[in-house]
Amino acid sequence: MSRAVHLFSIGTNDYASPFLTNSTILNNYNKSTYVGMVIGNITTVIHGIYKRGGRKFAFINLPDLGCVPGMRIIKSGNNGSCFEEATRLASLHNKALSKLLYELEKQLKGFKYSLFDLNSNLRQRMEHPSKYGFKEGETACCGTGEYRGVLSCGGKRPVKEFQLCKHPQKYVFWDSLHLTERTYKQLADQMWGGATSDSHDVGPYNIKQLFRIP
């Protein structure tokens, strides 16, 4: 357990699902309280792993959830702008996660972590796709409707008809919520070996460095 690196990629479903499923759970809590519940659950699991000997942890913060294709189309008349309610939740989560890890590093002896800034890295690819070898940064390769934001890819969901691009490697998004293989590969490479000294993309360690710690 002490030699392993424990990777956490948590939060997207906690904040996106209430909007995508018409859940009323967010009516029962203010945003800070709801984020606190999610962070509290993560904290409990970290402590549990630590007590069993885990010392090295890797985390991924949340992307700008309101700007993924499936969230842009939630509000009619939104004109393709980002869905701000989801974006605010993701932003609160990212701030709380950074604060949590900073505090745990001081509280738990031997606790080492890597936090990858998925949010800024993905946003760069969405806003400047050609810089990273893509053609399209906002519309999905596979789906239906505006931004191909309806989760219909494959025709096995309520909406059967869907469009599919010819060259997925030219797109940042595969479907309404997920990225293409090429995008994931670029992000994974950054998580694994990205610079930590002159960049805030990943730190205070990258994952490769965590594996080298005895």
The answer on pLDDT for 77 being more than 80 is no
The answer on pLDDT for 197 being more than 70 is no
Q: Concatenated DSSP letters for 145-157?
A: SGGG-BS-TTS-S
**Residue-level pLDDT at 128:** 98
The answer on pLDDT for 198 being more than 80 is no
Q: Is the dihedral of CA 123, 129, 132, 133 positive or negative?
A: positive
First-to-last C-alpha distance (Å) of the chain: 12
Q: pLDDT class for 199, splitting at 50, 70, 90? A: low
**Residue-level pLDDT at 165:** 98
Convert the pLDDT of each residue in 94-104 to its tens digit.
999 999 999 99
Give yes or no for a contact between 142 and 148, defined as CB atoms under 8 angstroms apart.
Answer: yes
The answer on pLDDT for 41 being more than 90 is yes
**Residue-level pLDDT at 201:** 86
Cα separations in angstroms, 107 against 58, 155, 186, 208: 17, 50, 33, 24
Residue pointed to by tokens 């505006």: 146
* For range 19-39, the mean pLDDT: 94
**Residue-level pLDDT at 22:** 86
Q: pLDDT class for 195, splitting at 50, 70, 90? A: confident
Cα separations in angstroms, 65 against 19, 74, 107, 133, 154: 11, 12, 31, 23, 23
**Residue-level pLDDT at 80:** 75
Convert the pLDDT of each residue in 129-173 to its tens digit.
999 999 999 999 999 999 999 999 999 999 999 999 999 999 999
Give the residues across from 103 on adjacent strands. none
* For range 41-61, the mean pLDDT: 98
pTM of the model: 0.93
The answer on pLDDT for 11 being more than 90 is yes
Share of the chain above pLDDT 70, in %: 97
